Structure 1
Amino acid sequence: MANRKVHRRATKVLGTEPSALVWCSVPRSIPKPPGDVHRAAGKGRLKGRHHLLVYVGAVVFCAVIIPICLIDMLGQQIDRLIEGRSRRSDPNRRQGTPARDRGPGNGIFDGDWNLTAGQLMLRWFSQSPSPRRLVLLDRDRICVAASPRRRLAATKADDFEIVAEFRAGEARIEAEAGQPRGFAAFRIRFADGSWLELGRLAGPKGADRFLRTTATGA
């Protein structure tokens, strides 16, 4: 749950006590937009900047883990070839189910880069290198805030600023209360029909309160 510093900062940037707030992020990678649309929006970053430890981990992964995985995959491939020969004559064997297509928006937005949600996605990481955003609600506004830091603790960050603001009639929150922890998500639905789905809600108590507030309209 967001601590007192976060609430004090939220009250300062809003100018009033928030009715609900939650740290969240885009739950999956942002799909690649058309080149002309990306350039028109300033060609901002579409993913966050990684910490040095991430690169160190990548080197270790490439030098140690990948060879082990390749050896394991080779063994599995040999097993499949042997099994395939024994099952090739069976006409009733079941075929695998094709992967589900999430569509042009990858399940995180409606897919139209020219509408509000798409434009917000295009500027997501230019606002902050961290994927974390704080969604703040008061009586007639939905505000999205971000911290300039690359890494932050959701319960301690107190240097965030509002990067997008939507008045009543411009956007609304769509959420369900009582969602299972770890899978909870909500959508911001904009007046032009576009939508953005946010997940990875930080802080069980704060997330549950946010979902209850938005679901009941309290």
Structure 2
Amino acid sequence: MAKRKVQRRARKILGEDPVALVWCEIGKPIPAPPKAVHRAAGKGRLKPRHHWLLYVGGAVFFFVVVPMMVVDKLGDVLNGQTSSGESGTTRNRTAGSGRHGVEDPTRGVFDGDWNLTAGQMLLRWYSHSPNPKRLVMLARDRVCVAASPRRTLSPTQADDFRTIAEFSFAEARIEAEAGQPRGFATFRIRFTDGSWLELGRLGEPEDADRFLRTVSA
């Protein structure tokens, strides 16, 4: 559960105790907007910045693990050359039978209209903070979205977050179901202009459960 310093900071921002709050993220990569729309919004970042250790891990994987996988795969190829003719015939028989699904260009992240509220929020999402985590706070009459300026943070102890967006209940509402499986739970912020934004990767199980119960009541 969020520590006292998080609750204290939330109370200071809202001017009252939060009804519910939860740390969350956009569960999937932000889809690429049209270039003109992105440029008009200031060409902000569309990806989070990661801790330097992640880049070190990536370098180790690329220069150590990948070569080992290539060598192993090469051995498999050399051993399986004798059966290449048969496998080629099988591929030719089945090539025409597959179906190609149509990929959702929004990836289920938002409604797809970059000019509406949700799309405009996405265009500036990582301009407010390089960290992917956002704190959604419910007051008695409004929804607040806050972020920490730091690249890394502890959701239970972060106390430097600030409001990046605020909406009255007349402008936005939260849609969710209670009892969703932990680790897979999501919710949507739906705006009165018809746009919506889906958030997931909910942090702190107690906060997540209380948040979902509150918005689904």
TM-score (norm 2): 0.90
Q: 1:93 to 1:118 in 2, by over 3 A?
A: closer
Could you say which residue in structure 2 is the equivalent of 1:10? 10
Q: Deviations over 1:48-69 (max 9, x none)?
A: 1122212211211110111223
C-alpha displacement at 1:25, in angstroms? 0.4
Q: Which moved more, 1:77-86 or 1:188-197?
A: 77-86
Q: Deviations over 1:130-172 (max 9, x none)?
A: 0000000011101100001100000000111100001112111
Could you say which residue in structure 2 is the equivalent of 1:38? 38
Matches within 5 A, 1:185-196: 185-196=186-197
In 2, Cα distance between equivalents of 1:81 and 1:16: 73
Which residue identity lines up with residue 194 of structure 1 in the other structure? S
In 2, Cα distance between equivalents of 1:6 and 1:159: 9
Q: How many residues align?
A: 215
Q: Deviations over 1:72-126 (max 9, x none)?
A: 455666759937715846968995564562x221111111111111100011000
2:209 is aligned with 1:208: yes
| % same residue | 61
In 2, Cα distance between equivalents of 1:11 and 1:160: 12
Q: Deviations over 1:9-49 (max 9, x none)?
A: 00000111110000000001111111110011111111111
Q: 1:98 to 1:12 in 2, by over 3 A?
A: same
In 2, Cα distance between equivalents of 1:48 and 1:139: 31
Could you say which residue in structure 2 is the equivalent of 1:150? 151
The SS at the match of 1:126 is helix
Matches within 5 A, 1:37-186: 37-74=37-74, 82=83, 85=86, 88=89, 98=100, 101=103, 103-186=104-187
Q: Deviations over 1:156-191 (max 9, x none)?
A: 001111000011121110000000011011000111
Which residue identity lines up with residue 205 of structure 1 in the other structure? E
The SS at the match of 2:201 is strand
Root-mean-square deviation over aligned CA pairs: 2.4
In 2, Cα distance between equivalents of 1:116 and 1:151: 27
Q: 1:76 to 1:121 in 2, by over 3 A?
A: farther
Structure 1 segments unaligned to the other structure (5+ residues): none
Is the 1:105–1:112 contact (alpha carbons within 8 Å) kept by the matching residues of 2? Answer: no
The SS at the match of 1:61 is helix
In 1, Cα distance between equivalents of 2:82 and 2:118: 47
Is the 1:24–1:135 contact (alpha carbons within 8 Å) kept by the matching residues of 2? Answer: yes
The SS at the match of 1:202 is coil
Q: 1:77 to 1:143 in 2, by over 3 A?
A: farther
Structure 2 segments unaligned to the other structure (5+ residues): none
